[in-house]
Amino acid sequence: MKLSNEDAKLFYELFFPLLDYVNREYHILPEEDYFGQGMIDPQDAAEVAHFLWERTWIIDDYLERSDLPEEHMEILKSWKGCITGRFIIERHLKKGSVFISIDDNSVFLVNGIVSSWEEMLRNAPMPTLLDATLLPFKNAIISDGLVSVMPIIFGPNSKADFKEIYMDAKRNGEIKARI
């Protein structure tokens, strides 16, 4: 599952100006207004985003200086509830991919932005370990798109453990489709 084309476009229309603001205010990269330009180095974007997700109060500063429509401001405000961490992608479903937090075994149903997680991780062995930041976006959970996949292959015992975490969450209605 992925966002609609319209919502994917909106995500980037909100995300890149926010990253530019963070970069301008805190001088993380040497070039200002970097994210409004064509090709973007994902490592540069990740560096600025990582700085932001550790200091989500910056979003309030950004919103004070912006003249965005209320709906867009609400989306950005919701990002202050982001969840950054290490996750196991246990499986792909029609409604999204199952992310299990390494920190507390919380289970999330996560959508892709432009492509589904299944498409993006087509050749990755399942389950897959990755670092990601999960964001609320309208009625879904997405990542900021700046993930780092760990080159780890899990054995049968670990796979069974992850499956059991997912199955328990499913049985108990604890799969989070919203943050």
pLDDT digits (tens, 9 = 90+) for 94-133: 999 999 999 999 999 999 999 999 999 998 899 999 999 9
The residues, ordered by sequence, that sit 6+ positions from 114 with a Cβ below 8 Å of its Cβ are: 2, 3, 8
Q: Which helix (H) or strand (E) segment is 157 a member of?
A: helix 156-171
**Entry pTM:** 0.94
C-alpha 110/C-alpha 1 separation (Å) is: 8
C-alpha 87/C-alpha 149 separation (Å) is: 10
C-alpha closest to that of 143 among 106, 166, 117:
117
Mean of all residue pLDDT scores within the chain: 95
Q: Please name each of the domains of the chain with its CATH number.
A: 5-80 (no CATH), 81-176 (2.40.50.500)
Residue pair 36/145 in contact (Cβ under 8 Å)? The answer is no
In this prediction, residue 34 carries a pLDDT of 67
